[in-house]
Amino acid sequence: MPKSPDYFKGKTIVITGAGSGIGRATALIFAREGANVVCADIDEAAVAQTVEMIDAAYDGQSLALGIDVTDRAAVNNMIELAIGDFGSVQFLFNSAGSAMRRAKFLDIDDELFEATYDLNVKGTFYAMQAVLPHMLASRFGVIVNVGSMAHRRGGGGSSVHYASAKGAVVTMTMGVAREFASQGIRALSISPGPVDTNFQTASQTSPELKAQMLADVPMKRFAHPEEIGELVLFMCSDACEYMTADTVYVNGGGGFR
């Protein structure tokens, strides 16, 4: 939570992947705090539903955008539309990402590898490049990117392509943080363990692999999307002003062996 009452009121956050899961949960949390929330997702119907949820619960200022984050021009337009509607952008949360599908290392083909990097790495890269000039002009901004516990473990047997892409996200976040720290910009990443979203279904996670993942978590449950969203809120707040260039592991105590 922020130190200052109404800290987020009137400030604007852009959230990619806001049509479901962590992105949607985070959008609702920032709306609860009075922020203007720009919700972007490739699934236009899903992101429109997120905005409907915000409007029904909080009567907040929100904008739904159907955006493919692998398209640089579309991402640039996303930021311009956000500024056009709300005047400025203080926060960016890059939540869009996926393992696409599970695959053993020797079964990862060019199509899967490139699609995984396009979504997870380029999507994050494009959004940061699009928003940074605006943040630098006001000498204030916080960027939070979604990494993964997988980058610590390598994804062997099911997702080396995804783990390596998220490793790139964590490294890129650190580099941006260090390059712009003296100009009022903070950049952080969150590396969750398994989260209870449709991610596992979308990436074709087998029941056996899900059971193995759960067995590795001492808390014996997956994270809830809202638990990640509340961390994003803290990272962006004035209670976290000295933290940058780090990734925070949220995994219920598992994932390090």
Residue 53 located in a structural domain: yes
pLDDT single digits (tens) 180-220: 999 999 999 999 988 987 655 554 556 877 787 788 888 98
How confident is the model over 143-150, as a mean pLDDT?
Answer: 96
Range of the domain at 123: 12-250
Residue 7 located in a structural domain: no
**Residues with Cβ < 8 Å from 212, sequence gap 6 or more?**
none
Q: What is the mean pLDDT of the chain?
A: 94
| pLDDT attached to residue 170 | 98
| Helix, strand, coil content of the chain in percent (nearest 5) | 50, 15, 35
Structural domain count, the chain = 1
pLDDT single digits (tens) 99-118: 999 999 999 999 999 999 99
Q: For the domain that residue 154 is a member of, what is the CATH number?
A: 3.40.50.720
List residues with catalytic annotation: 162
How confident is the model over 43-55, as a mean pLDDT?
Answer: 98
| pLDDT attached to residue 124 | 98
Residue 179 located in a structural domain: yes
Residue 2 located in a structural domain: no
Residue 207 located in a structural domain: yes
Residue 178 located in a structural domain: yes
Q: What does the alpha-carbon distance between residue 94 and residue 158 come to, in Å, rounded to a whole number? A: 24
Task: Provide the phi-psi class of 145: left if phi over 0, else alpha when psi is between -120 and 50, else beta.
Answer: beta
Confidence of residue 166 (pLDDT cuts 50, 70, 90): very high
| pLDDT attached to residue 208 | 78
Residue 257 located in a structural domain: no
146, 138, 120: which is closest to 22 by C-alpha? 146
Residue 4 located in a structural domain: no
94, 99, 255: which is closest to 162 by C-alpha? 99
pLDDT single digits (tens) 115-141: 999 999 999 999 999 999 999 999 999
pLDDT single digits (tens) 232-243: 999 999 999 999
Q: Give the DSSP H/E element, type plus range, for residue 191.
A: strand 185-192
| pLDDT attached to residue 199 | 56
Place of tokens 């939070």: 144
| pLDDT attached to residue 257 | 41
